[in-house]
Structure formats: C-alpha cells, structure tokens
Amino acid sequence: MPFPSIEELPATLDSTGWRWEPYKTPSFPSYTFWTGTDSAGRTWLTKLTGDFYAYREIVFARIAQRMGWSCQSSTLVVLDDRSADLLGVPDARVHAAHWFLAEHGRTSCSRDCPLASCNWRSIDDVDELKGCKVSRILDWPRSEIAAALFGGNEPPDRLLTTSHEFVIIDSEQMFSSGPTDVTETRWWNRRDGAASRAGRELTIEVCRRVSQLSNDDLADALAKPQGVEINELWPIGPRLKEIRRFADSFAAKYR
C-alpha cells in the first residue's frame, strides 16, 4: 500500500494546533471536506460525519485490510474547542480522520497511464476488469460484494491514487443491516443477464474469506480506544457474527 496500514496509525488523534483547510476532491467537486495538518506534518481528511459513522468505517477498514484489500486507513480525531468551532461542529467532537491520499484525475496523465487501458468506472464485469492495468482494481468488485454482505446502505466509493492504485473509501454505511443477498450485486451476472463465472468466483471468494475471520479478528476489528465514547446506535458485534455465519453458509453452498 502507498500509505500506512490502519494498525500503524494512532488509535486517536487530538486536533489541538492543527492547520485546517477546506478541500474539494476531483470526484466530489460540489462537496467540501476538510483537511487537517498535524504538528508532525501529516495530513488527514475528514467529512465530519460523527463518531458512529467513523467507528463503522474503521471496523470495516480493519477487516478489509486484514483480508488484504486496498482500503483507506482511518482513525478517530477528537476535536479541540478551536477546531470544533472553526469546522462548525461545536457539539460533535469525535470524527473519522482519513490518511490523506492525493487523487488521480479522471483522464490519463501520460501515454503509459493505466487509465488508458480501460474506462474502469463504467465496467461492471469482472472479466473485463481483469484487463485493466490499475493496481488492485479487483478490490472494487470485492468492496461492492462486501457491501451486500456487510449490510451497507450503499457500496463504498472508490479512489485512484496518483500512484495508480485503487483504494476503497467511504465505507461508513456498513452494518446498517444484517447481510443481504450477495447474488443481487451487479457482479454476479454479466450485463446481458448471463452468469458471470469470474464474478461468481469472486463473490464466493469474498464470502469464504469473511467466513475464515477468527474471533480474535472480529474482536480486533471492534476494539474501541480508551477514553473515547462512541455513541453506538446499535451494536455492531452481533451483526458481525451474523455476517460471518451467512458468509460461511454461502461459501459452503458453492464448495
């Protein structure tokens, strides 16, 4: 990964003394995010969505990285008074802080740019994606299959870094429900309705990998930092175990 793993990040950050700037991404030019630069010169991005969205996103990212997927690394930031007032969230102090990743533009940057090999944002067939030279591109369908498996209200978003690596981002909607039918994603069948062998193999792979997560893996994913209160609107732990059971049953069906 062209960035530190989530395990390498501090469990929490204190925003005291940070330099804040509004930020618009190439993918969401109408939405203003914030970047904060800490005393060590590290830059973090936040959407200011609060503690529970942040926690859900971090739980999923821990699992995704444990399974070897390219997923953004995030931690929790506790806003000091000055930062909270500046950002307009005086009553919401705990948010996700994402390791800042510079995003590649939507067009090729050179003659050898991997984007020239495919229009990756419009492909919805795993076989076609295999011909795309963007690094880690198959983690895109994996993340959308995972959205069904992990009860996401919507699939995560996707980012292409300036080093041409695909990264899963914006997974805060995970665990909104229990697992749903993974055969209903756009990857299970081809665009013409015919079965996609590669898509189905990838779906089974995702379920098999999730089914192999140990109790320690789940406990590590669910860990909360000491001294930070997370307003968990519903418990994620039982859902995570339900997801693992569902994944095991689905993988066994196609074993």
| Residue range 64-85, pLDDT digits in tens | 999 999 999 999 999 999 999 9
- Average pLDDT rounded to a whole number, residues 126-155: 94
Q: What is the pLDDT of residue 1?
A: 66
Rounded distance, CA 61 to CA 42, Å?
20
What average pLDDT does the chain have? 94
Please give the angle made by the CA atoms of 31, 34 and 38, to the nearest 5 degrees.
165
DSSP 3-state of 106: coil
**Residue 174 confidence (pLDDT) above 80:** yes
**Residue 104 confidence (pLDDT) above 70:** yes
Provide the sign of the torsion angle of the four alpha carbons 249, 72, 56, 32, taken in this order: negative
